[in-house]
Amino acid sequence: MQTIPSALISSILDNDFYKITMQQGVIRLFPAAKARYKFINRGKHVFPDGFSVALRKAVNEMALLKLSKEEKQFLAVNCPYLDPVYLDFLEGYRFNPEEVHIEQQGDQLSVHIEGLWYRTILWEVPLMSLICELFYTMNHSERISKEAIISRTREKIEKYRELGITVAEFGTRRRYSYQVHRLVLQALSEYGTGSFIGTSNVHMAMLHQTKPIGTHAHEWFMFHAAYYGFKMANAMGLEHWVQVFRGDLGIALSDTYTTDVFFRQFDKMFSKLFDGVRHDSGDPLEFANKVIAHYQHMGIDPRSKTIIFSDGLDYEKVERIAEYCRNRVGMSFGIGTNFTNDAGPKAMNIVIKMTEAHPKDGEWTEVVKLSDEPGKHTGTEATINLAKVILNIP
């Protein structure tokens, strides 16, 4: 078996910002809730012998991570909507590797996470990045050179600047490696003036003195469905987000139960209060049309709102979307794997999703995601069908 470098995750903030923001919301509103998550191998990747052992070692090492004084200060200064009480909590937080269950049968990997939601919420992103980096290392994958990564990234961000759009880096979960991620941020920071506006990775934002970007993920609404039912999930999720952040972090994720269902509950109050919406599945041009029509119906100028496009983007897709939306609605782009895993080998296609939630005084309830692209649905067939019936989704 190949020797694996230790401490692949070196900072507790090497995570996506929406995990931090959601964790504050969960601590405030649902401190007794529990959650279960599952690794989904969408790309049917074959894992080498000993992979689970290497992953277990890397996960165990995460128990040593803790928020430094400098990291706490960075969050306090740059994210004033994070409570001092929450920052004190995060300073004392430690990953508990016992919450992560790892097995390997032949060449197939099984990973499950279970525990209090406010604790387990931080596992998904670093776990996925660990799986990716170990996969490439143990398969002896060869990547392009440091100079080539910087050159490719520079070329991309300069082309985006020529398009006249703003771009954020969203690629932590499926990055080739931590080092490649650092190189990408180095190039974006150096050559991206006028286009590059920040990163979803809090650690990288601090290292490169840029803005951490993110609001909430699908699991926020999935939990609300377990607690309040499918019909109330979007409205209660948005209501609670406003309750916690009071107008900050105002980009709403729209496709947990399809965009059509979301807009039924995205009433005038929410439409005015939130700065815009994020697109994460389905046809982006069709989505743009729906967003523009919705705001016009509400008597709101769509150009005063923003769509964050973040679904598997590359230059060609971004160019097509930008030309379609220009002068019709505000827009920005979150680009992930095309930045952080364009290093030679094929990018992995993996996810980790919440599968069950246990609200306080409730019981374990299956949760699902019904995105605008059926191939991205998650959950059991029975629960997916139940949600479709309740929400009148064909």
* pLDDT of amino acid 4: 39
* 54, pLDDT greater than 70: yes
- At 351, is the secondary structure helix, strand, or coil? strand
* pLDDT of amino acid 180: 97
d(CA 229, CA 223): 9
pLDDT digits (tens, 9 = 90+) for 330-353: 999 999 999 999 999 999 999 999
* pLDDT of amino acid 7: 64
* pLDDT of amino acid 269: 97
* 6, pLDDT greater than 60: no
Query: Which of the four pLDDT bands, split at 50, 70 and 90, describes residue 374?
Result: confident
- What number is the average pLDDT over the span 97-101? 98
- Candidate CATH numbers 3.90.600.10, 3.30.70.2190, 3.40.50.970, 3.20.140.10; the one for domain 146-340: 3.20.140.10
Distance from CA of residue 313 to its chain's centroid? 14
Would the CATH topology of 17-142+352-366 be identical to that of 146-340?
Answer: yes
**Domain extents for the chain?**
17-142+352-366, 146-340
d(CA 120, CA 113): 7
Q: What average pLDDT does the structure give for the chain?
A: 96
Which one is predicted more confidently, 4 or 337?
A: 337
Q: Looking at 258-380, list the stretches that DSSP marks H as alpha helix, in order from N- to C-terminal side.
A: 259-265, 268-273, 284-297, 315-325, 337-340
pLDDT digits (tens, 9 = 90+) for 146-197: 999 999 999 999 999 999 999 999 999 999 999 999 999 999 999 999 999 9
Predicted model pTM: 0.96
The CATH architecture annotation of domain 17-142+352-366 reads Alpha-Beta Barrel (3.20)
